[in-house]
Structure formats: C-alpha cells, structure tokens
Amino acid sequence: MEKEKKKKESQEDKVLKFLQSGREITSEIAFEEFGITQLPGRIFNLRRRGYPIHSELILKYGKGNYGKKFFLKDEIYVKPLRKKRKPKMNMPGICFQILDYLQHNKTVTNLEMNIKFNLINPANYISFLRKNGYKIKTTRGKNKIAIYSLEK
C-alpha cells in the first residue's frame, strides 16, 4: 500500500485559519505560533486572494515603537480590478498601412508615423517589414531625422 502524502499546510493557510477563528495576529504571534518571519507578505497574498483582512497600527512597549495587528472583517470583499492595458497594435496590420502610405507618398519620416499611426517606435515596424522581404531605404534628413522610402 502506498501512503498518501499529506499536503503540507502553507503559511498563508495557517494565518488564514488563525484569523478565521476570530483572533488578531501580529508579527510576534505569527513567529511564535508558526515560525513565520514575513507576516506582511502572507497578508498581502491573502488579500490578493480576496480575503477582507484589515490592519490597525498599535503602540508596542510604550516607547514609540509601532507595529500592526491584522484581523478579518465579516464583509463581502470585492477584489479591485486591474487597469486594462492598451491592446497591443496588430503589427502586420499597421505595417501594411505604412506600406500603403509609402506607395502613395513615396517617403515617410518617424514623426509622420508617430502622428499618423500613433506609433511610439516606428523603427520596429520598419524592421518588421524588412524581415518580411520588403526593401525599405533609410536616409537621414535635417536634424538627423530618419526618412524611409521603398527601394525599386
């Protein structure tokens, strides 16, 4: 018979059980009870998992030393949503727009691409086109501005 391995209880689970029993926990208690030296890290992870853990500043030893005590509140906790990132631009789609622009206007500068296509680093798109077999010539104009044109 194979022995079933018991899953070792994580530090976070130990802290959570302790808090769910209605008690408050401090760094000293966490160290004495469970050997946890980084209680704020465990609390941070529990909060990220959605538990409504609150904290209060406490005066320790009456000498101006402060600490925190953590406790659970009986309330519904809604995890805040992360800000949505701007979707990445479709590299081939933008590149074909740049090619079309080059075919009609003969040349384009970095500044024009910044404005027309809202690109931060137009050279990346030119590089993508070159890797895909398009012959694009780069010349330097006034103030060393890159000017791109299609080679024939």
What pTM value is reported for the model? 0.45
Give the whole-angstrom CA distance, residue 91 versus residue 124: 9
Q: Which domains does the chain have, with CATH numbers?
A: 11-72 (1.10.10), 91-150 (1.10.10)
pLDDT band per the 50, 70, 90 thresholds, residue 25:
very high
- 3-class state of residue 140 by DSSP: strand
Q: Are 53 and 70 in contact (CB under 8 A)?
A: yes
Pick from 13-22, 76-85, 129-138: least confident? 76-85
Q: What is the pLDDT of residues 73-120, one digit of tens each?
A: 775 555 555 555 554 556 677 888 888 888 888 888 888 888 887 877
